[in-house]
Amino acid sequence: MPSLILASASPRRRELLGLIGLVPKAIVAADVDETPAKGEHPAAYTARVALAKAVAVAAAHPEDVVLAADTVVARGRRILPKADDEATARRCLALLSGARHRVHTALVVIPPGAPPRRRLVTTRVAFKRLSDRDVSRYLASGEWRGKAGGYAIQGLAGAFVRDLRGSYAAVVGLPLFETWQLLDGLDVPWQAPNPEP
C-alpha cells in the first residue's frame, strides 16, 4: 500500500487533508523556482508550479503517492504576490478592496509508476470596499504574512468577503472535492477524523 507524501509545507493544506481523513506519511517542501514567466497567465502559472513541485518530490519518493498544490490570487491577469512585508500586504489589499478577483488552485497527484493526475480549481471572490480602519486592523493582526494576495480567508479577512463562487477550501489552499477525486482508488491510508467534542 503506497503512502501519501504532501509536497507542501503549508500547515493549512495538512489540516484540510485531515478533515477528509488523509494523513500524509511525510511533508516535503519542494524546492522549485516560483518566478512567473513574462506574460504568463495566472492559471497557467499555478498549474506549472504545482506540477514542478509534484515532479521534484516524486523523484525522491517513487514508491509513494505525491500530492502537490499551488494557489495564486489574481486580479485580472495580474498575479498578486505572497505578502512578506506590510507594504506588500497593503498594496494587495488596495487592489482587492471593493473588487472581484480569482483564486486559482492547481492540484497534481503522481501515483507510483503512473502519469500525473491534475485539476485546476478557480474560485471567484468579491471583497467589500475596505475602510482605512479595516486595513489598519488587518495589518496589525499579522495574519497576512506569507499569504498569497496578502490575506487568509479562514481568518479575519473572511469578514471582507461579500461573495464567493466556487470552492472555499480551494481559497484556503486545497479543494477537498477535487483532492478526494484525484486520490480515490489509489489505496492511500485513510483514517476517520476525530469527531468534535
The answer to whether 34 and 7 are in contact (CB under 8 A) is no
Three-state DSSP class for residue 132: helix
Instruction: Check 31, 33, 70, 187 and give the catalytic one.
Output: 70
Beta bridge partners of 148: 82
Three-state DSSP class for residue 44: helix
Is 70 an active-site residue?
yes
Give 58-62's long-range contacts (Cβ < 8 A, gap of 24+). 58/7, 58/110, 60/28, 61/5, 61/26, 61/28, 62/112, 62/113
CA 166 – CA 121 distance, rounded (Å)? 8
Give 140-143's long-range contacts (Cβ < 8 A, gap of 24+). none
Could you count the other beta carbons within 10 Å of the beta carbon of residue 14? 17
Q: How does strand 65-75 pair with strand 100-110?
A: antiparallel
CA 23 – CA 17 distance, rounded (Å)? 7
Residues annotated catalytic, as ranges: 70
